């Protein structure tokens, strides 16, 4: 077994490490990505972005494509069910100099699936391949693809979908070890990630149930995958990247964040959100993050109740600061 934490080369992009922040709709904005970069994420992905919105140059859509200050390894994830839209979106995406362009083929949300995008593409590997080709044929930036094991337990076709992506120019595959039908229930199947890694000749990343550094190590050791994408495990816990790197390098990982460290991180995250989004939007965007940061701390329920009913950032800071000094 080689080193578990290591650089990874995805076609012509060499990333310094193999612990990525997965794209998360509604979460992986510039502020949150910065929090994760500061604690050791090797690469961060944008939120899932509509190819059609990109083509229309919708202001809010293009804002999602903008890297944060100092974000050197940055991937953009797009979703679409149409080859033409995928192809036309590329020139717009390239203006933001991404390290990677990812095609979402795993989102289980009904609205996305009904449009023929996300997990709907698992039902049609040939179409998935055509969309990958429409992206990869228009850029030298490596194209990655995020898939699930299949639509349901009766159609575990991840080898077929991954091969269709590979044959049409994909430079890396990330497999979330659940079907579309599972959503986020049950457990992610590591055996599928292991099988895909044995089959493919391009980097394979694993995703699913990565809530602790020990779970990350277990996935890497037991599947042989080239790296991981941490998703829900980073929400309210950006410290996980630093913990993972230490553990994978053979050091004793830092202890889980205590209540004070969580509040300090929430305050830092709030300042970043204000910086990037302005005060009004920061208040709205931070509510879900504040709930996550305060989960599990003593008195957290009462604290969350106060925070979600607060309408300005000064009051949020006051509540959090007073909580630390109680």
1-18 confidence digits (pLDDT tens): 459 999 999 999 999 999
Average pLDDT of the segment spanning 143-168: 95
Residue 192: per-residue pLDDT: 96
Tens digit of pLDDT for each residue in 44-56?
A: 999 999 999 999 9
Domain check: are 287 and 195 in the same one? Answer: no
CATH code at 266?
A: 1.10.1200
The percent of residues in the chain predicted with pLDDT above 90, rounded, is 80
Do 233 and 276 share a domain, yes or no? no
Give the pLDDT score at 326: 59
209 to each of 41, 101, 189, how far by Cα in Å?
A: 17, 24, 10
Query: How many angstroms separate the CA atoms of 45 and 32, rounded?
Result: 11
pLDDT over 60 at 237, yes or no = yes
Distance CA 291, CA 230 (A): 19
Q: Are residues 231 and 273 in the same domain?
A: no
- Asked if the structure places residue 1 within a domain, the reply is no
Q: Is residue 254 part of a domain?
A: no
Last residue of a domain, one of 219, 248, 277: 248
Is 2 contained in some domain? Answer: no
> Do both 72 and 147 map to the same domain?
yes
Give catalytic status of residue 107 as yes or no: yes
pLDDT of residue 188: 79
* Predicted local confidence at residue 42, as pLDDT: 98
Kindly state the tokens that stand for 66: 């903008």
**What is the DSSP code string of 68-102?**
PTT--SEEEEEE-S-HHHHHHHHHHHHTT--SEEE
Question: Could you tell me which of 206, 240, 211 has the C-alpha nearest to residue 226?
Answer: 206
Q: Do 182 and 304 fall into the same domain?
A: no
pLDDT for res 13 = 94
Q: How far apart are the first and last CA of the chain?
A: 48
Q: Please tell me whether residues 164 and 271 are part of one structural domain.
A: no
Answer yes or no: is 253 within a domain.
Answer: no
Q: What is the mean pLDDT of residues 234-260?
A: 93
CATH assignment at residue 99: 3.20.20.70
More confident residue, 318 or 243: 243
| One domain, residues 125 and 199 | yes
Q: Is residue 79 pLDDT above 80, yes or no?
A: yes
The two three-digit tokens of residue 91, written as one number: 């020139």
pLDDT at 98: 97
- The count of structural domains within the chain is 2
| Residue of 36, 105, 107, 174 with catalytic role | 107
Residues 133-148, mean pLDDT to the nearest whole number: 97
pLDDT at residue 106, rounded to an integer: 93
| 28 & 117 share domain | yes
Residues 113 and 214 in one domain: yes
Q: Does residue 197 lie in a domain region?
A: yes
Instruction: Report yes or no on 3 lying in a domain.
Output: no
Looking at the structure, do residues 128 and 165 belong to the same domain, yes or no?
yes
Domain match, 232 and 283 both:
no
Give the model's pLDDT for residue 59. Answer: 87
Q: Which residue among 221, 248, 275 closes a domain?
A: 248
The answer on pLDDT for 93 being more than 50 is yes
Examine the domain organization and report whether 168 and 300 are in the same domain. Answer: no
Asked if the model's pLDDT at residue 126 lies above 90, the reply is yes
Q: Is residue 116 within a helix (H) or strand (E), and if so which, with residue range? A: none
- pLDDT given at position 1: 45
Give the range of the structural domain holding residue 286, as residue numbers without chain letter.
259-324
**Residue 77 domain flag:** yes
Q: How far is CA 23 from the centre of its chain?
A: 3
DSSP letter at 257?
P
Q: Could you tell me whether strands 43-50 and 100-105 are parallel, antiparallel, or unpaired per DSSP bridges?
A: unpaired
- 30 falls within a domain: yes
Per-residue pLDDT of 289-326, as tens digits, reads 999 999 988 888 888 888 888 888 899 998 888 877 65
- What mean pLDDT, rounded, does the chain reach? 94
């Amino acid at each position: 077994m080689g080193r578990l934490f290591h650089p990874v080369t995805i076609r012509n992009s060499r990333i310094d490490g193999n612990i990525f922040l997965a794209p998360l709709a509604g979460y992986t904005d510039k502020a949150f990505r910065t929090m994760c970069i500061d604690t050791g994420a090797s690469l961060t992905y944008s939120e899932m972005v509509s190819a059609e919105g990109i083509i229309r140059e919708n202001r809010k859509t293009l804002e999602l494509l903008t890297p944060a200050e100092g974000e050197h390894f940055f991937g953009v994830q797009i979703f679409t069910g149409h080859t033409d839209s995928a192809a036309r979106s590329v020139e717009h995406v390239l203006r933001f100099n991404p390290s990677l362009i990812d095609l979402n083929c795993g989102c289980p949300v009904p609205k996305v699936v009904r449009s023929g995008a996300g997990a709907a593409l698992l039902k049609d590997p040939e179409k998935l391949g055509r969309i990958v080709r429409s992206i990869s044929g228009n850029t030298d930036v490596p194209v990655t693809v995020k898939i699930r094991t299949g639509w349901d337990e009766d159609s575990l076709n991840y080898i077929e979908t991954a091969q269709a992506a590979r044959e049409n120019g994909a430079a890396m595959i990330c497999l979330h070890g659940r079907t579309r039908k599972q959503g986020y229930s049950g457990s992610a199947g590591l055996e599928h990630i292991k099988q895909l890694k044995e089959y493919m000749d391009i980097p394979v990343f694993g995703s699913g149930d990565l809530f602790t550094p020990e779970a990350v190590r277990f996935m890497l050791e037991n599947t042989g995958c080239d790296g991981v994408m941490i998703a829900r495990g980073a929400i309210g816990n950006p410290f996980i990247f630093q913990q993972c790197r230490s553990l994978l390098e053979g050091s004793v990982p830092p202890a889980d964040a205590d209540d004070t460290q969580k509040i300090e991180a929430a305050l830092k995250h709030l300042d970043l959100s204000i910086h990037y989004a302005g005060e009004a939007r920061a208040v709205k965007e931070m509510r879900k993050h504040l709930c996550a940061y305060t989960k599990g701390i003593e008195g957290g329920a009462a604290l969350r109740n106060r925070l979600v009913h607060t309408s300005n950032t000064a009051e949020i800071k006051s509540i959090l600061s007073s909580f630390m000094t109680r």
